[in-house]
Amino acid sequence: MASFQITGGRKLKGELIPQGAKNEALQILCAVLLTKEPVTIYNIPGIRDVNQLIDLLGDLGVWVTKIGEGAYRFQASDVNLDYLETDTYKRKAAALRGSVMLLGPMLARFKTGRIPRPGGDKIGRRRLDTHFLGFEKLGAQFNYDANDGGYYQVDASNLRGTYMLLDEASVTGTANILMAAVMAEGITTIYNAACEPYLQQLCKMLNSMGAKISGVGSNLLTIEGVSELKGTEHTMLPDMIEIGSFIGMAAMTQSEITIKNCQIPELGIIPDQFKRLGIQMEFRGDDIFVPAQEHYQIDSFLDGGMMTVADAPWPGFTPDLLSIVLVTAVQAQGTLLIHQKMFESRLFFVDKLIDMGAQIILCDPHRATVVGLNRQVPLKGIRMSSPDIRAGVALLIAAMSAKGTSIIDSIEQIDRGYQHIDTRLNAIGAEIIRL
């Protein structure tokens, strides 16, 4: 188990280039199974979850060739379905939540799929019902046998297009169903589909492979099934969660940071939400410049009510940045209510911020009120542990702004989502030692 030792109070100055989008990568990589032809993908982040998925694809028989920094060529011309029966597959797939999205491509191309209960962050109940209800509506037969080691087994010998209304706008659920539907017979209509930029990217990639998907960018997708898909090239978006993390980090540490190549039109309301915290920023072409600010003041609603930031399906605010907004508000002027609607355990890191000196009231598992310190009192360094990816980076931001030295244990969680974060931040003035 590795740890970070962080010396707080260091002001950063320089440029940061965001990595490729983690959440997009997990979908795009699974989609390479849909064709026997080569698929080349650029801007893949070198993070633990993504590397584990690439490793799993290689074990399945996919030819994986690294052709440059963050660039790989995949060819799934000789997939070994017998590997799905092995203990190694069960262990590796169960350790990675994104592995569930292997099912859609397997069902589309091979008419069968098998996957153990996947892992991932411990941030509350994350059900898979949407995935399997969608598969069943396409004609797949689903079976879960606890006596068979906890495997989900799906038979998709007769996939047919249909209309479906998803019970939730699940990003991974929509991606999984979409990948199964592109080669189903007939027309599939998915209503209440997720429409995040990750999904739009997946749709664009699939269409470039020969799929027929319309309604891209909306919550109503129409898919006309095709018999086969061809190879393609695809470049992933920069990671919007990392971009938001860097904006919050700049504010908390009074740092002057330029975030390069952000593809700003794809960020939705993310910059506006940080502006509501009083954070100044300038758009310079496709770069975001965040100046050093001694103070930043949280807005209030027009009637004077306390500002609330809540997560919602896209184009609402992504839940992955609520932890960052929360920690950034700790040193703001004003009061903020954070409402985490989607996951009931994602706010269970605020006790560590309170130990550091933050003024936070955890109202219930879904809501926390942050009373900004306005830099009147600095946070103090402590020893703590990272419970999940986003909370881990929020704690890292708090430690970088604190007085004294902090140690964050279980940084494997941070490494799952942020590529060489210590090296990149040290290059612009941070003092982070990996123990």
Give the residue numbers marked as catalytic. Answer: 121
What radius of gyration, in Å, describes the C-alpha atoms of the chain?
22
Is 219 annotated to bind a ligand? Reply is no
Is 390 annotated to bind a ligand? Reply is no
Amino acid at 75: Q
Counting Cα atoms < 13 Å in the Cβ hemisphere of 134 gives 33
Is 261 annotated to bind a ligand? Reply is no
Strand order in the sheet with 151-155: 112-116, 151-155, 141-145
What whole-number distance in Å separates Cα of residue 157 and Cα of residue 135?
A: 12
What whole-number distance in Å separates Cα of residue 219 and Cα of residue 216?
A: 8
Contact 23, 246 (CB under 8 A): no
Is 249 annotated to bind a ligand? Reply is no
If DSSP codes are grouped into helix, strand and coil, which group holds residue 114? strand
Determine the distance from the C-alpha atom of residue 82 to the mean position of all C-alpha atoms in its chain, rounded to a whole number: 30
Contact 390, 345 (CB under 8 A): no
Q: Which helix (H) or strand (E) holds 63?
A: strand 63-68
Contact 8, 402 (CB under 8 A): yes
| Best CA proximity match to 200, nearest among 28, 435, 60, 18 | 28
Contact 313, 166 (CB under 8 A): no
Say which residue the tokens 């975030």 belong to. Answer: 259
DSSP-derived pairing of the beta strands 71-75 and 38-42 = antiparallel
- Longest alpha-carbon distance in the chain: 65
Determine the distance from the C-alpha atom of residue 276 to the mean position of all C-alpha atoms in its chain, rounded to a whole number: 23
If DSSP codes are grouped into helix, strand and coil, which group holds residue 320? helix
Cβ-based neighbours of 402, under 8 Å, separated by 6 or more: 6, 8, 9, 356, 378, 379, 380, 381
Contact 190, 220 (CB under 8 A): yes
Is 179 annotated to bind a ligand? Reply is no
On the 0-12 / 13-18 / 19+ scale of CB atoms within 10 A, 1 is exposed
DSSP-derived pairing of the beta strands 405-409 and 383-385 = parallel
Bridge partners of residue 152, in order along the sequence: 115, 144
What whole-number distance in Å separates Cα of residue 262 and Cα of residue 331?
A: 26
Annotated binding site for phosphoenolpyruvate: 22-23
Annotated binding site for UDP-N-acetyl-alpha-D-glucosamine: 97, 320, 342
